Structure 1
Amino acid sequence: MVPDFLLPEWVPNAHPLIVHFPIALIFVAVAADALALWLGERWETGQEVATGLYAATGLSAAASYYSGTWAIDTVPIVTPGAASTLSTHSFWAWYTMVSTSGYALLRTAGLFVSWVRARPSAHVVLFVLGLATLYPMYETGENGGAMVYKRGVGVTRVQEVPSTASPAPDSAQPDTMQASESTPRAEAP
Protein backbone atom coordinates (compact mmCIF):
# COMPACT_ATOMS: atom_id res chain seq x y z
CA MET A 1 0.00 0.00 0.00
CA VAL A 2 1.23 3.50 -0.86
CA PRO A 3 1.46 5.91 2.11
CA ASP A 4 -0.86 8.91 1.89
CA PHE A 5 1.98 11.43 2.07
CA LEU A 6 3.29 10.12 -1.28
CA LEU A 7 -0.02 10.73 -3.04
CA PRO A 8 -1.23 14.04 -4.46
CA GLU A 9 -4.08 15.57 -2.47
CA TRP A 10 -6.53 15.20 -5.36
CA VAL A 11 -6.26 11.39 -5.59
CA PRO A 12 -8.06 9.17 -3.03
CA ASN A 13 -5.59 6.25 -3.41
CA ALA A 14 -2.81 4.95 -5.67
CA HIS A 15 -5.06 2.89 -7.95
CA PRO A 16 -5.90 5.67 -10.44
CA LEU A 17 -2.17 6.37 -10.82
CA ILE A 18 -1.25 2.71 -11.42
CA VAL A 19 -4.17 1.44 -13.47
CA HIS A 20 -3.18 3.10 -16.74
CA PHE A 21 0.16 1.30 -17.06
CA PRO A 22 -1.21 -2.13 -18.05
CA ILE A 23 -3.69 -0.48 -20.40
CA ALA A 24 -0.93 1.33 -22.28
CA LEU A 25 1.53 -1.54 -22.14
CA ILE A 26 -0.82 -4.14 -23.60
CA PHE A 27 -1.42 -2.04 -26.70
CA VAL A 28 2.31 -1.43 -27.14
CA ALA A 29 2.96 -5.17 -26.64
CA VAL A 30 0.37 -6.16 -29.26
CA ALA A 31 1.75 -3.57 -31.70
CA ALA A 32 5.33 -4.76 -31.17
CA ASP A 33 4.22 -8.37 -31.61
CA ALA A 34 2.37 -7.51 -34.83
CA LEU A 35 5.47 -5.72 -36.11
CA ALA A 36 7.68 -8.68 -35.14
CA LEU A 37 5.30 -11.03 -36.93
CA TRP A 38 5.21 -8.85 -40.04
CA LEU A 39 8.97 -8.26 -40.20
CA GLY A 40 9.86 -11.84 -39.28
CA GLU A 41 13.59 -12.46 -39.40
CA ARG A 42 14.29 -8.87 -40.48
CA TRP A 43 13.74 -7.92 -36.82
CA GLU A 44 15.78 -10.55 -35.02
CA THR A 45 14.81 -9.51 -31.50
CA GLY A 46 11.15 -8.78 -32.25
CA GLN A 47 9.76 -11.73 -30.31
CA GLU A 48 11.94 -10.92 -27.31
CA VAL A 49 10.81 -7.28 -27.31
CA ALA A 50 7.14 -8.28 -27.52
CA THR A 51 7.62 -10.88 -24.78
CA GLY A 52 9.27 -8.30 -22.52
CA LEU A 53 6.37 -5.92 -23.09
CA TYR A 54 3.87 -8.67 -22.29
CA ALA A 55 5.82 -9.45 -19.10
CA ALA A 56 5.68 -5.77 -18.13
CA THR A 57 1.94 -5.83 -18.85
CA GLY A 58 1.45 -8.86 -16.61
CA LEU A 59 3.45 -7.31 -13.77
CA SER A 60 1.67 -3.98 -14.03
CA ALA A 61 -1.71 -5.75 -14.19
CA ALA A 62 -0.86 -7.50 -10.92
CA ALA A 63 0.18 -4.20 -9.32
CA SER A 64 -3.00 -2.59 -10.61
CA TYR A 65 -5.20 -5.41 -9.32
CA TYR A 66 -3.71 -5.32 -5.83
CA SER A 67 -3.80 -1.52 -5.68
CA GLY A 68 -7.50 -1.82 -6.54
CA THR A 69 -8.13 -4.25 -3.69
CA TRP A 70 -6.49 -1.75 -1.33
CA ALA A 71 -8.45 1.12 -2.89
CA ILE A 72 -11.79 -0.42 -1.97
CA ASP A 73 -11.23 0.58 1.65
CA THR A 74 -10.58 4.23 0.76
CA VAL A 75 -13.75 5.09 -1.15
CA PRO A 76 -17.39 4.81 -0.10
CA ILE A 77 -19.60 2.43 -2.07
CA VAL A 78 -23.05 3.80 -1.27
CA THR A 79 -25.44 2.41 -3.87
CA PRO A 80 -26.33 -1.13 -4.95
CA GLY A 81 -25.46 -0.17 -8.54
CA ALA A 82 -21.98 0.89 -7.49
CA ALA A 83 -21.52 -2.33 -5.51
CA SER A 84 -22.60 -4.40 -8.51
CA THR A 85 -20.29 -2.51 -10.86
CA LEU A 86 -17.44 -2.89 -8.36
CA SER A 87 -18.02 -6.64 -8.22
CA THR A 88 -17.95 -6.92 -12.01
CA HIS A 89 -14.89 -4.67 -12.25
CA SER A 90 -13.10 -6.71 -9.60
CA PHE A 91 -13.83 -10.00 -11.42
CA TRP A 92 -12.55 -8.69 -14.75
CA ALA A 93 -9.50 -7.14 -13.08
CA TRP A 94 -8.61 -10.50 -11.53
CA TYR A 95 -9.18 -12.24 -14.87
CA THR A 96 -7.03 -9.63 -16.64
CA MET A 97 -4.22 -10.12 -14.13
CA VAL A 98 -4.33 -13.91 -14.50
CA SER A 99 -4.63 -13.89 -18.30
CA THR A 100 -1.91 -11.32 -18.98
CA SER A 101 0.48 -12.81 -16.42
CA GLY A 102 -0.19 -16.35 -17.65
CA TYR A 103 0.29 -15.27 -21.24
CA ALA A 104 3.55 -13.53 -20.33
CA LEU A 105 4.79 -16.77 -18.75
CA LEU A 106 3.78 -18.72 -21.85
CA ARG A 107 5.61 -16.26 -24.11
CA THR A 108 8.69 -16.36 -21.90
CA ALA A 109 8.73 -20.17 -21.95
CA GLY A 110 8.34 -20.05 -25.73
CA LEU A 111 11.59 -18.11 -26.02
CA PHE A 112 13.46 -21.14 -24.69
CA VAL A 113 11.81 -23.70 -26.98
CA SER A 114 13.61 -23.69 -30.33
CA TRP A 115 10.78 -25.09 -32.44
CA VAL A 116 8.39 -22.39 -31.14
CA ARG A 117 10.87 -19.65 -32.05
CA ALA A 118 11.64 -21.17 -35.46
CA ARG A 119 8.08 -21.60 -36.73
CA PRO A 120 6.14 -18.57 -37.96
CA SER A 121 2.90 -20.52 -37.45
CA ALA A 122 3.68 -20.80 -33.71
CA HIS A 123 4.22 -17.04 -33.62
CA VAL A 124 0.85 -16.51 -35.32
CA VAL A 125 -0.86 -18.67 -32.68
CA LEU A 126 0.90 -16.77 -29.90
CA PHE A 127 -0.05 -13.45 -31.51
CA VAL A 128 -3.74 -14.45 -31.62
CA LEU A 129 -3.57 -15.49 -27.96
CA GLY A 130 -2.01 -12.11 -27.19
CA LEU A 131 -4.88 -10.38 -28.97
CA ALA A 132 -7.28 -12.33 -26.79
CA THR A 133 -5.84 -10.66 -23.69
CA LEU A 134 -7.25 -7.36 -24.94
CA TYR A 135 -10.82 -8.42 -24.17
CA PRO A 136 -10.50 -8.84 -20.39
CA MET A 137 -8.50 -5.60 -20.29
CA TYR A 138 -11.34 -3.88 -22.17
CA GLU A 139 -14.00 -5.23 -19.78
CA THR A 140 -11.95 -4.19 -16.75
CA GLY A 141 -11.53 -0.68 -18.10
CA GLU A 142 -15.17 -0.40 -19.13
CA ASN A 143 -16.37 -1.32 -15.63
CA GLY A 144 -13.69 0.82 -13.98
CA GLY A 145 -14.83 3.78 -16.05
CA ALA A 146 -18.43 3.09 -15.06
CA MET A 147 -17.36 3.08 -11.40
CA VAL A 148 -15.99 6.61 -11.72
CA TYR A 149 -18.05 8.31 -14.40
CA LYS A 150 -21.43 6.63 -13.98
CA ARG A 151 -21.44 5.71 -10.28
CA GLY A 152 -19.20 8.52 -8.96
CA VAL A 153 -17.02 6.22 -6.87
CA GLY A 154 -13.76 7.86 -5.80
CA VAL A 155 -14.88 11.28 -6.98
CA THR A 156 -15.29 14.11 -4.51
CA ARG A 157 -17.19 17.26 -5.25
CA VAL A 158 -14.71 20.09 -5.37
CA GLN A 159 -17.14 22.86 -6.09
CA GLU A 160 -20.84 23.25 -5.44
CA VAL A 161 -23.05 24.06 -8.40
CA PRO A 162 -25.16 27.18 -7.73
CA SER A 163 -28.90 26.59 -7.68
CA THR A 164 -30.86 27.69 -10.76
CA ALA A 165 -33.19 29.86 -8.66
CA SER A 166 -30.46 32.29 -7.64
CA PRO A 167 -27.36 32.17 -9.86
CA ALA A 168 -24.25 33.91 -8.68
CA PRO A 169 -24.00 37.49 -9.97
CA ASP A 170 -20.67 36.80 -11.65
CA SER A 171 -21.84 33.50 -13.11
CA ALA A 172 -20.80 32.83 -16.67
CA GLN A 173 -23.69 30.41 -17.15
CA PRO A 174 -26.09 31.27 -19.95
CA ASP A 175 -29.65 32.16 -19.04
CA THR A 176 -31.78 29.03 -19.29
CA MET A 177 -35.16 30.74 -19.54
CA GLN A 178 -37.28 29.91 -22.55
CA ALA A 179 -37.67 32.62 -25.17
CA SER A 180 -41.38 32.90 -24.47
CA GLU A 181 -40.67 33.53 -20.79
CA SER A 182 -37.99 36.14 -21.37
CA THR A 183 -39.86 38.43 -23.77
CA PRO A 184 -42.61 40.62 -22.36
CA ARG A 185 -46.06 39.94 -23.74
CA ALA A 186 -48.17 42.67 -25.14
CA GLU A 187 -51.23 43.19 -22.98
CA ALA A 188 -54.55 43.15 -24.77
CA PRO A 189 -56.56 46.40 -24.21
Structure 2
Amino acid sequence: MVPDFLLPEWVPNAHPLIVHFPIALIFAAVAADALALWLGERWETGQEVATGLYVATGLSAVVSYYSGTWAIDTVTIATPEAAQTLSTHSYWAWYTMVSTSAYAGARAIGLFITQIRSRRLSHAVLFVVGLGTLFPIYKTGENGGEMVYRRGVGVTQTQKLPATATPDSTRQDTVQVSRPAARSEAP
Protein backbone atom coordinates (compact mmCIF):
# COMPACT_ATOMS: atom_id res chain seq x y z
CA MET A 1 0.00 0.00 0.00
CA VAL A 2 1.27 3.48 -0.86
CA PRO A 3 1.13 6.03 1.97
CA ASP A 4 -1.22 8.94 1.30
CA PHE A 5 1.53 11.54 1.69
CA LEU A 6 3.26 10.10 -1.42
CA LEU A 7 0.17 10.58 -3.60
CA PRO A 8 -0.95 13.81 -5.25
CA GLU A 9 -4.09 15.24 -3.64
CA TRP A 10 -6.16 14.71 -6.79
CA VAL A 11 -5.72 10.92 -6.91
CA PRO A 12 -7.82 8.74 -4.58
CA ASN A 13 -5.25 5.89 -4.48
CA ALA A 14 -2.14 4.60 -6.26
CA HIS A 15 -3.98 2.31 -8.68
CA PRO A 16 -4.57 4.90 -11.45
CA LEU A 17 -0.86 5.72 -11.38
CA ILE A 18 0.26 2.07 -11.49
CA VAL A 19 -2.27 0.54 -13.90
CA HIS A 20 -0.76 2.05 -17.04
CA PHE A 21 2.58 0.27 -16.69
CA PRO A 22 1.38 -3.20 -17.74
CA ILE A 23 -0.60 -1.63 -20.58
CA ALA A 24 2.45 0.13 -21.99
CA LEU A 25 4.78 -2.78 -21.33
CA ILE A 26 2.60 -5.39 -23.06
CA PHE A 27 2.55 -3.33 -26.26
CA ALA A 28 6.31 -2.79 -26.07
CA ALA A 29 6.80 -6.55 -25.50
CA VAL A 30 4.62 -7.52 -28.46
CA ALA A 31 6.36 -4.97 -30.69
CA ALA A 32 9.83 -6.17 -29.63
CA ASP A 33 8.76 -9.77 -30.15
CA ALA A 34 7.42 -9.01 -33.63
CA LEU A 35 10.67 -7.24 -34.50
CA ALA A 36 12.73 -10.13 -33.10
CA LEU A 37 10.70 -12.61 -35.13
CA TRP A 38 11.01 -10.55 -38.29
CA LEU A 39 14.75 -9.89 -37.94
CA GLY A 40 15.58 -13.38 -36.74
CA GLU A 41 19.29 -13.87 -36.26
CA ARG A 42 20.05 -10.31 -37.39
CA TRP A 43 18.95 -9.25 -33.88
CA GLU A 44 20.76 -11.72 -31.69
CA THR A 45 19.23 -10.58 -28.41
CA GLY A 46 15.73 -9.94 -29.73
CA GLN A 47 14.09 -12.85 -27.93
CA GLU A 48 15.78 -11.88 -24.66
CA VAL A 49 14.59 -8.28 -24.97
CA ALA A 50 11.02 -9.37 -25.71
CA THR A 51 11.10 -11.90 -22.87
CA GLY A 52 12.41 -9.25 -20.47
CA LEU A 53 9.54 -6.97 -21.46
CA TYR A 54 7.03 -9.78 -20.97
CA VAL A 55 8.49 -10.48 -17.51
CA ALA A 56 8.23 -6.77 -16.66
CA THR A 57 4.61 -6.88 -17.88
CA GLY A 58 3.82 -9.87 -15.70
CA LEU A 59 5.39 -8.30 -12.62
CA SER A 60 3.68 -4.96 -13.19
CA ALA A 61 0.36 -6.77 -13.71
CA VAL A 62 0.76 -8.36 -10.27
CA VAL A 63 1.47 -4.97 -8.68
CA SER A 64 -1.41 -3.39 -10.61
CA TYR A 65 -3.85 -6.12 -9.58
CA TYR A 66 -3.02 -5.82 -5.90
CA SER A 67 -3.07 -2.02 -6.00
CA GLY A 68 -6.58 -2.37 -7.41
CA THR A 69 -7.68 -4.66 -4.59
CA TRP A 70 -6.40 -2.08 -2.10
CA ALA A 71 -8.05 0.75 -4.07
CA ILE A 72 -11.53 -0.71 -3.60
CA ASP A 73 -11.56 0.51 0.00
CA THR A 74 -10.77 4.10 -1.03
CA VAL A 75 -13.63 4.72 -3.48
CA THR A 76 -17.40 4.79 -3.23
CA ILE A 77 -19.35 2.18 -5.16
CA ALA A 78 -22.75 3.87 -5.19
CA THR A 79 -24.83 1.84 -7.64
CA PRO A 80 -25.41 -1.84 -8.42
CA GLU A 81 -24.21 -1.20 -11.98
CA ALA A 82 -20.92 0.19 -10.65
CA ALA A 83 -20.56 -2.84 -8.38
CA GLN A 84 -21.16 -5.19 -11.32
CA THR A 85 -18.64 -3.31 -13.48
CA LEU A 86 -16.13 -3.46 -10.63
CA SER A 87 -16.67 -7.20 -10.30
CA THR A 88 -16.11 -7.72 -14.04
CA HIS A 89 -13.06 -5.45 -13.99
CA SER A 90 -11.64 -7.37 -11.03
CA TYR A 91 -12.19 -10.71 -12.80
CA TRP A 92 -10.42 -9.56 -15.96
CA ALA A 93 -7.62 -7.97 -13.91
CA TRP A 94 -7.04 -11.29 -12.13
CA TYR A 95 -7.08 -13.13 -15.46
CA THR A 96 -4.65 -10.58 -16.94
CA MET A 97 -2.30 -10.99 -13.99
CA VAL A 98 -2.35 -14.79 -14.21
CA SER A 99 -2.08 -15.00 -18.01
CA THR A 100 0.70 -12.44 -18.43
CA SER A 101 2.68 -13.82 -15.51
CA ALA A 102 2.32 -17.42 -16.70
CA TYR A 103 3.25 -16.44 -20.24
CA ALA A 104 6.27 -14.48 -18.97
CA GLY A 105 7.38 -17.51 -16.98
CA ALA A 106 6.99 -19.80 -19.99
CA ARG A 107 8.99 -17.37 -22.15
CA ALA A 108 11.74 -17.14 -19.55
CA ILE A 109 11.99 -20.93 -19.30
CA GLY A 110 11.98 -21.14 -23.11
CA LEU A 111 15.17 -19.09 -23.25
CA PHE A 112 17.02 -21.99 -21.60
CA ILE A 113 15.62 -24.74 -23.82
CA THR A 114 17.64 -24.90 -27.01
CA GLN A 115 14.94 -26.70 -29.03
CA ILE A 116 12.49 -23.86 -28.35
CA ARG A 117 14.95 -20.99 -28.53
CA SER A 118 16.62 -21.98 -31.80
CA ARG A 119 13.53 -22.73 -33.89
CA ARG A 120 11.80 -19.95 -35.73
CA LEU A 121 8.52 -21.90 -35.73
CA SER A 122 8.63 -22.09 -31.92
CA HIS A 123 9.21 -18.35 -31.76
CA ALA A 124 6.28 -17.76 -34.13
CA VAL A 125 3.98 -19.91 -31.96
CA LEU A 126 5.14 -18.08 -28.83
CA PHE A 127 4.53 -14.76 -30.59
CA VAL A 128 0.94 -15.73 -31.42
CA VAL A 129 0.33 -16.84 -27.84
CA GLY A 130 1.82 -13.53 -26.68
CA LEU A 131 -0.65 -11.68 -28.89
CA GLY A 132 -3.37 -13.50 -26.97
CA THR A 133 -2.31 -11.72 -23.78
CA LEU A 134 -3.53 -8.46 -25.30
CA PHE A 135 -7.18 -9.52 -25.04
CA PRO A 136 -7.45 -9.82 -21.24
CA ILE A 137 -5.58 -6.56 -20.76
CA TYR A 138 -7.99 -4.91 -23.22
CA LYS A 139 -11.04 -6.27 -21.34
CA THR A 140 -9.57 -5.14 -18.02
CA GLY A 141 -9.01 -1.64 -19.37
CA GLU A 142 -12.43 -1.50 -21.01
CA ASN A 143 -14.17 -2.30 -17.71
CA GLY A 144 -11.86 0.02 -15.75
CA GLY A 145 -12.65 2.84 -18.14
CA GLU A 146 -16.36 2.13 -17.85
CA MET A 147 -16.10 2.26 -14.07
CA VAL A 148 -14.48 5.68 -14.16
CA TYR A 149 -16.09 7.36 -17.15
CA ARG A 150 -19.58 5.86 -17.12
CA ARG A 151 -20.09 4.93 -13.47
CA GLY A 152 -18.03 7.76 -11.90
CA VAL A 153 -16.09 5.49 -9.52
CA GLY A 154 -13.08 7.28 -8.03
CA VAL A 155 -14.02 10.59 -9.60
CA THR A 156 -14.99 13.79 -7.83
CA GLN A 157 -16.46 16.85 -9.42
CA THR A 158 -13.70 19.43 -9.55
CA GLN A 159 -15.32 22.09 -11.71
CA LYS A 160 -18.25 24.10 -10.38
CA LEU A 161 -20.52 26.00 -12.70
CA PRO A 162 -21.37 29.57 -11.67
CA ALA A 163 -24.90 29.85 -10.28
CA THR A 164 -25.94 32.18 -13.10
CA ALA A 165 -24.48 30.01 -15.84
CA THR A 166 -26.72 28.57 -18.50
CA PRO A 167 -25.72 25.59 -20.61
CA ASP A 168 -24.97 27.88 -23.58
CA SER A 169 -22.83 30.31 -21.57
CA THR A 170 -20.48 27.53 -20.39
CA ARG A 171 -19.33 26.76 -23.91
CA GLN A 172 -16.89 29.67 -24.09
CA ASP A 173 -13.98 27.44 -25.04
CA THR A 174 -15.60 26.11 -28.19
CA VAL A 175 -15.59 27.68 -31.60
CA GLN A 176 -18.87 29.34 -32.41
CA VAL A 177 -19.72 29.45 -36.09
CA SER A 178 -22.27 31.99 -37.17
CA ARG A 179 -24.64 30.72 -39.79
CA PRO A 180 -25.98 33.00 -42.50
CA ALA A 181 -29.62 33.92 -42.17
CA ALA A 182 -31.95 31.81 -44.25
CA ARG A 183 -32.92 33.48 -47.50
CA SER A 184 -36.52 33.81 -48.34
CA GLU A 185 -37.25 33.92 -51.99
CA ALA A 186 -40.07 36.23 -52.96
CA PRO A 187 -42.27 35.05 -55.82
TM-score, normalised to structure 1, is 0.87
* Cα-to-partner distance string for 1:82-132 (whole Å, 9 max, x where unaligned): 000000000000000000000000000000000101110000110000000
Shift of 1:162: 4.1
> What's 1:146 paired with?
146
Residue type matched to 1:154 in 2? G
Displacement of 1:158 after TM fit? 1.1
CA distance in 2, matches of 1:16, 1:173: 29
Alpha-carbon distance between aligned partners in 1 of 2:170 and 2:132, rounded to the nearest angstrom: 48
Aligned to 1:4: 4
| Gapped regions of structure 1 (runs ≥ 5) | 175-189
Give, in whole Å, the separation in 2 of the partners of 1:162 and 1:83. 33
Q: Deviations over 1:121-151 (max 9, x none)?
A: 0001100000000000000000000000000
Q: CA deviation at 1:160?
A: 2.3
- CA distance in 1: counterparts of 2:22 and 2:62, whole angstroms: 9
- Residue 154 of structure 2: SS of its match in structure 1? coil
Q: Which aligned pairs between 1:95-174 and structure 2 lie closer than 5 A?
A: 95-162=95-162, 166-167=164-165, 172-173=170-171
Structure label with greater radius of gyration: 1
User: 1:76 is matched by which residue type in structure 2?
Assistant: T
Query: Partners in 1 of 2:170 and 2:17 — Cα distance?
Result: 33
The share of aligned pairs that are identical, in percent, is 76
Provide the TM-score with structure 2 as the length reference.
0.88
Output the CA distance in 2 between the equivalents of 1:158 and 1:39.
50
Cα distance in 1 between the residues matched to 2:77 and 2:110: 43
2:82 aligned with 1:82, yes or no? yes
Cα distance in 2 between the residues matched to 1:64 and 1:167: 41
Correspondence for 2:43: 43
Aligned to 2:178: none
Aligned structure 1 segments of 4 or more residues deviating by more than 4 angstroms: none
For 1:58, the aligned partner's letter is G
Number of the residue aligned with 1:186: none
State the aligned residue count: 170
Within 1, Cα distance between the matches of 2:8 and 2:135? Answer: 31
* C-alpha RMSD of matched pairs (Å): 1.2
Displacement of 1:172 in angstroms is 4.9
One-letter identity of the residue aligned with 1:67? S
Name the residue aligned to 1:34.
34
Structure 2 portions without partners, runs of 5+: 173-187
Equivalent residue, structure 2, for 1:184: none
Please report how far the alpha carbon of residue 8 of structure 1 lies from its aligned counterpart in structure 2 after TM superposition.
0.2
Whole-Å Cα distance in 2 between the matches of residues 160 and 153 of structure 1? 19
Amino acid at match of 1:12: P
Letter matched to residue 106 of structure 2: L
